[in-house]
Amino acid sequence: LKKEVFAQPEFAEASKKFVLVEIEFPRASKQSPEVKAKNAALSKQYAISGFPTILLLDAQGEVYAQTGYQEGGAKKYLEHLGTLAKQNTPEVKKTLAAKMKAEALEHEIEEQLGPVLDPTLSKKDLAGAEAAMNKFFKEKGLSGDFLVRMTLNVRVGITAECKPGDHDAVLKVVDEVATLTTSKEVLAEIADLRERVVKVRDQDAERRKSQGK
DSSP string, 134-185: HHHHHHHT--HHHHHHHHHHHHHHHHHHHSTT-HHHHHHHHHHHHTT---HH
Binned at pLDDT 50, 70 and 90, residue 129 comes out as very high
pLDDT per position as a tens digit, 187-204: 999 999 999 999 999 999
pTM higher than the cut 0.75: no
Residue 152's nearest CA partner among 104, 119, 197 is 197
**How big is the chain, counted in residues?**
213
Peptide bond into 115 cis (omega under 30): no
Q: What was the pLDDT predicted at 213?
A: 58
pLDDT interval class at 211 (50, 70, 90): confident
CA-nearest of 24, 84, 79, 28 to 58 is: 84
> Residue 194: in which H helix or E strand, if any?
helix 184-210
* Share of residues in the chain with pLDDT > 90 (%): 70
Average pLDDT, the chain: 92
pLDDT at 116 over 70: yes
- Please state the φ and ψ torsions of residue 89, each to the nearest 5 degrees: -130, 155
